[in-house]
Structures are given as structure tokens and as C-alpha cells.
Amino acid sequence: MHRVLAETYPEAHCELDFANAFELLVVTVLSAQTTDRRVNAVRPTLFAAYPTPEAMAQADREVLEGILGPLGFFRAKTESLLKLSAALVERYDGEVPPRLADLVTLPGVGRKTANVVLGNAFDVPGITVDTHFGRLARRFGWTEETDPVKVEHAVGALFAKKDWTMLSHRLIWHGRRRCHARNPACGACPVARWCPAFGEGPTEPEVAEKLVKTEARR
């Protein structure tokens, strides 16, 4: 299944825009409860104003809230960025640590965010269990676990560590484009022959094809 998904989505990558590890850490934190598209839209303004942890830690709260306003929950997200940036300055001299154990001690950073940063900024393999990944892992029969950490460990045991980061991207892309939570495009799915959940969505190719999203930056 992974081989076919790799052939189907050769361009799979992190759909959050970033230029360095600090930017990726921040935009991943901001992506909670909003879309990647919205985060990418505010990113240029945000980092033009606050390009470093030092600058962001000293940001004027009202100005930062104004930049983050389009994302929703902007007051809570402003608080998160101020605390996160301050912690980077105080604990790590303004550098994003390249270790899971350190990243998860930062305010607002859990294993999902840490694995995104490790895999995409530092090339350290990690499994990112977002809602799409967890849903597909269960739908494919790879695990019955619902807790993200347990899903991460269960799926990690099935695949070579070197494949973890790209496996995450490909499952997320597949979940956003074809294997939707409701009405998945079963009849237009490249891994349908191996999927125990085949039939949860329309199986007729012409019907299923209409459900496929060719671009899904969410």
C-alpha cells in the first residue's frame, strides 16, 4: 500500500510553508483548529515582523493578535507563540532543538508537532499522527488504536524508520484528496484492492472520481 501511495503522490510534502526550523515549529503550532492555507497566508507578515524567537518573544501582544486574527483563537495562539518563543530563547539560546525529548517540553508542542519539525526540518524520521493519518491507519487495518501515541508506535512497528516521514505525508495527502472521513472515493482509490474498508464510499469509478480533490492545501 505504501509503495502504491508513493507512486500516486510523488510530490507529497508538508503543506505548511516554512523557511527554517523556527518557522516550521511556529506554523505547525498555529495550524491547530485552522487550515494550512490560512496559516500560509499569514506567514509572510508574521515572520517579516518577527523573524527570530528573540523578536517574537518581545512582540507587542496586540500587534501579534492582529496578525493572527484570521486564524481564529488568536488570543490563545498569541499566548502560545509568546511562551514558545520565550522558552526557545531561555532554554535553547534561540535555536529549535533537534530532539523529540526537548521539543515536547516546549509550550504548546506535543509529539505530533515535534515529529513534523523533526522530519521536515532536521530529516529525523517521525510519524505525524493527525486526524487523517489516524483515520486511515484504522481504516486500512494497520491498527485499532485511537490514542495518537499508540497509533504512532503501532504503525511505526510496521514500517522501516527511514520511511516514517514520507509515509506520514502520503497518508495525509491520501486522506485529504481521496480517503475522506465521509464519503471516501473508494472507486477511484489506488489501494482499494487491499483496503478492508472498501465500500464505505461509492465504488463506481465515475461517481468516485468526482469526489477526488486534486489540490487540498488544508
Place of cell 499522527: 129
Helix axes 36-49, 61-68, angle to 10 degrees: 150
Query: Which residues neighbour 127 within 8 Å (Cβ) at sequence distance 6 or greater?
Result: 115, 133, 152, 155, 156, 164, 165, 167, 168
- For residue 193, pLDDT over 50 is answered with yes
Mean pLDDT across 16-26: 98
Query: Which residues neighbour 22 within 8 Å (Cβ) at sequence distance 6 or greater?
Result: 52, 53, 88, 96
Helix axes 131-139, 148-156, angle to 10 degrees: 60
Q: Give 215's pLDDT tier (boundaries 50, 70, 90).
A: low
- For residue 25, pLDDT over 60 is answered with yes
161 belongs to the catalytic site: no
Q: Mark out the alpha helices in 93-214 (DSSP H runs).
A: 100-103, 111-121, 131-139, 148-156, 164-177, 205-209
44-100 tens-digit pLDDT: 999 999 999 999 999 999 999 999 999 999 999 999 999 999 999 999 999 999 999
Residue 217: per-residue pLDDT: 46
Quote the percentage of the chain above a pLDDT of 70: 98
Q: What is the pTM of this model?
A: 0.92
What's the gap between Cα 126 and its chain centre? 11
Q: Of the residues 36, 123, 130, 213, which is catalytic?
A: 130
Q: Of the residues 36, 83, 102, 112, which is catalytic?
A: 112
Give yes or no for a contact between 124 and 118, defined as CB atoms under 8 angstroms apart: yes
Give the separation between CA 56 and CA 28, rounded to whole angstroms: 16
Give the separation between CA 50 and CA 33, rounded to whole angstroms: 22
130 belongs to the catalytic site: yes
Residue 51: per-residue pLDDT: 98
Give yes or no for a contact between 187 and 168, defined as CB atoms under 8 angstroms apart: no
